Structure 1
């Protein structure tokens, strides 16, 4: 398979992964991904009057937060269902797929990308396009799931492995030629390679507060790679994964917060990367 073929296959798999999963995403993983939004906006210098583009807006969390600061916000997402939900919430959103954006050169003061670079087959081409739509001196801020992971990030994956789940062959796999080091230095280097200046990246660590049922619901709804793996299994395997999941959840229940009905709280440690740069 050529690099082009592998990249096209990755992008096609990503589009299929999110199609029809807006509601399931919003109920679970959407809250997780919204956590870094205030830091993301600060990194991009978003304030009243800032012309902002939110790429991969999903259900609109970053776009709405920017609007609350008085920014002038446009947003795009590759999935029509996500765009429809963002619009319902009041975001000026439209469908667009990186690395092609329907905006002029230098149209924005700030570009936000909240957990987007994970999902594009051509991250360097995508960053070049984001640089194009920024004005000179404009600011880019992005988040990314990195190589260092919190224990809570591996909960569902550990349950899949313990329950005997076998990943399907059609999972998205980024071509190695397009990959980069998922570390602060690696992400900052990628931004510098794309022509940005002043690139820097840090790790963000937090505990995502959720419940046993809410966290399971995202995967059961087919959201993200873990959801593709779970929903590809036979019923018996799904039941085994669920049993292992409930067993493993016990390690993430805060002391004194146990709840026998399975709806009790979880505190899941997560780690992500936050990077900023200037055109």
Structure 2
């Protein structure tokens, strides 16, 4: 049975594949190479990409010559990933239960996925189940601090006077390199390495706004849940704040910090 947080996640992402692909997906794609490196994915590796989204990591793994299976909990993401990663076997599946036999894969990767599961440890135990002895795991999540990518939206909501709803929360853990390392170790992964990946995402402000305006993620539920008048106030505040950060090339710079952890089965 899905818990309250997992049920909320299914509602939050329902039908959001195209809006996500056109907005936040480029930000999340920045870690794909490092993620695959950490999982030692190369030619001939049988890899499972969990929470594939629009298939970004799956496509990158195929480009390395890997044999790729990709799954996602959201049907619209499954359809988009199948189109974006031809050659991958793309299926619908929801953590913490996967439809694969024990030891089915050489490696498993999860790019910004573990934080979208109510019981992260149960999910990581399940990922270990489907990896062969000696196989590898690599996961990314957002760092608990230091990310400015979403702060622009929150500043606009504050300026417009929007009250935030209280959404269900997952089982919590420290969103630090040490916290993520501990989570993997508790799930039985060995030789865990964990660290930070930092970069600056540059984006057109209208493309960035299209994420919440399209209902993507929690911020999208807040923005699209407003009255037309309040929505317009939030957009006006966002436009002003984005204009203050605009570079000469017309893009805004969004500093991002992720956590990347890997381990061995």
Q: Residue 41 of structure 2 corresponds to which residue in structure 1?
A: 46
Task: Give the distance between the partners of 1:163 and 1:123, measured in 2 at CA.
Answer: 34
Match of 1:266 in 2: 252
2:3 is aligned to: 8
Partner Cα separation in structure 2 for residue 125 and residue 150 of structure 1: 27
Q: Secondary structure at the match of 2:149?
A: helix
Provide Cα deviations, 1:30-68, integer angstroms capped at 9, x if missing partner. Answer: 111111100101111110000100000011000110010
2:258 pairs with 1:275: no
Of 181, 194, 198, the residue aligned with 2:191 is: 198
Q: Which position in structure 2 is the counterpart of 1:85?
A: 80
Q: Distance in 1 between matches of 2:260 and 2:144?
A: 13
Q: In 1, Cα distance between the equivalents of 2:258 and 2:221?
A: 22
Q: Structure 2: 5+ residue runs without aligned partners?
A: none
Deviations 1:155-185 (A, max 9, x none): 111111211112234x3422xxx21100000
Determine the structure 1 residue equivalent to 2:201. 208
Give the aligned partner of residue 249 of structure 1: 242
Q: Secondary structure at the match of 1:179?
A: coil
Contact conserved, 1:153 with 1:269, CA < 8 A, in 2? no
TM-score (norm 2): 0.96
Q: Partners in 1 of 2:245 and 2:132 — Cα distance? A: 45
**Structure 1 residue 161 and structure 2 residue 158: aligned?**
yes
Answer yes or no: is 1:100 the counterpart of 2:97: yes
TM-score (ref. length: structure 1): 0.91
- 1:179 aligns with one of 165, 172, 176: 172
Match of 1:24 among 15, 19, 23: 19
Which structure 1 residue ranges, 4+ long, deviate > 4 Å from structure 2?
Answer: none
